Chain A
């Protein structure tokens, strides 16, 4: 066995892989939340659709996206391997279940992670997959008068099925035609149980990260009192509160807007 292989096959090596992939996913969440704040712009989805188009057509981001998918898969597979090993380490269970004082999150990382995995499949299936690989997402045409800065929106049907995005000018009017993921989101987030799935998943995310983020640093062995409070603070407030709240706000706000229509 090569030395590196030996390292990553050890119990500590597997934990290192969990920690590294987990932290990468945490960083992604920040970017994902930041970008998706465009959903809160009242411009008929113009900024958001342009952003979605940019993400799927800018090669460096596409590369990072594939690293991201790989991280999700590796994180899940290693979690499965470690959990199975851990179960095997205690073949006969206790009759009286443990009363040791430990946090709910740390005891239920596997369950929380499984909820998140199901969520990711639903989420990517509904938006990412449909956007990239099917023709079920419509198009919008934004006409902006460059003198008055007035924009009008209409639906648009392209000549060819794999049309993605175009920009043209008609005198003083800029015409932008782009795939309309925004309407897809409006439609999905007007279904109450769909919104509920999102909210429950974000609760699971919060509990997963309140343990997971700081646990990763523990796995690296970085527990000095000088910086431990810093990552515990970030893990709690940014990853277990702000990020899940931010994400949960999107389906909730869109659902409320759909009621007023």
Chain B
């Protein structure tokens, strides 16, 4: 909601931290004459402009596509990852979702496995390492196969596609009271486990990706569902159940060995 001039004045409490080794603290900034039609990141750009004019260090935050598809933006805004709206990323969040005069607290994703790089930018390479541990399929080289060569039922294709919409932003970890990465990991596992192309590595994949997830120091799921509520792509908890099922099948009922190599972390 804007004021009589059609703009908004806001107070920002922003987490500033020079690097992972140095302790951080909140700094207060004024964001003035903000258009309600700006995105949250554009509002931060405006604030950074004025910070740069005073020859100070601008606020660091992650962003790339700014249209909700890359998963690069983050920000824990007033107690919620990606802010107060459901099923959108911070770059898709408009300032009209706030009220004129409001104080907005902005924090980085907080998890041991996501160390702060600077200010609001955190290192999410733990996700890459989980993905590298098994989030792939084997494909023969040679001619390009015809499209739709392997028949896949519509329901399965839809379900796999829903899992595949995960953009790896890390909001699930940020929202989870246990800083658990199970929604992310399970979406990546389930996407491939559902499809015929993912079958050869299915039971090895679930074991090595879970092992890597544990090695990175994420917490474990208590089926609370904050991740599902905050995921900008609305990935469901059902993915976690699928992962659990495949994991226990692999560990307890199948002959599938895994020699988990830890890729750092």
- With both chains docked as a complex, state the minimum distance between the C-beta of B216 and any C-beta of chain A, in angstroms: 9
- Chain B contact residues (Cβ within 8 angstroms of A): what range? 35 or more
Q: Mark A101-118, 1 if CB is under 8 A from B, else 0.
A: 111001101000000000
A side interface size, CB within 8 A: 39
Q: Say yes or no: A89-B219 contact (C-beta < 8 A), given A7-B251, A223-B241.
A: yes
Q: Give every chain A residue within 8 A of B248 (Cβ-Cβ).
A: 12, 16, 220-221
**Looking at A7, A215, A218, which has the most chain B CB atoms within 10 Å of its CB?**
A218
B79 touches A99 (CB 8 A): yes
Q: Mark A217-243, 1 if CB is under 8 A from B, else 0.
A: 011111100000000000000000000
A99 touches B223 (CB 8 A): no
Partner of A107, one of B214, B217, B224: B224
Q: Mark B56-83, 1 if CB is under 8 A from A, else 0.
A: 0000000000000000000010111000
- With both chains docked as a complex, state the minimum distance between the C-beta of A224 and any C-beta of chain B, in angstroms: 9
Q: Say yes or no: A100-B230 contact (C-beta < 8 A), given A90-B110, A90-B219.
A: yes
B241 touches A11 (CB 8 A): no
A95 touches B225 (CB 8 A): no
How distant is the Cα of A171 from the Cα of B213 in the complex, in angstroms? Answer: 75
- With both chains docked as a complex, state the minimum distance between the C-beta of A227 and any C-beta of chain B, in angstroms: 12
| New A-B contacts (13) at CB < 8 Å, excluding given A86-B220, A88-B112 | A10-B210, A11-B213, A12-B220, A12-B244, A12-B247, A86-B180, A91-B112, A98-B226, A106-B222, A109-B222, A211-B223, A218-B240, A219-B244
Could you list 18 examples of A-B contacts with CB < 8 Å? Answer: A14-B220, A85-B219, A90-B179, A90-B219, A94-B79, A95-B13, A95-B15, A97-B79, A98-B177, A100-B79, A102-B229, A106-B222, A215-B223, A218-B241, A221-B248, A222-B245, A223-B237, A223-B238
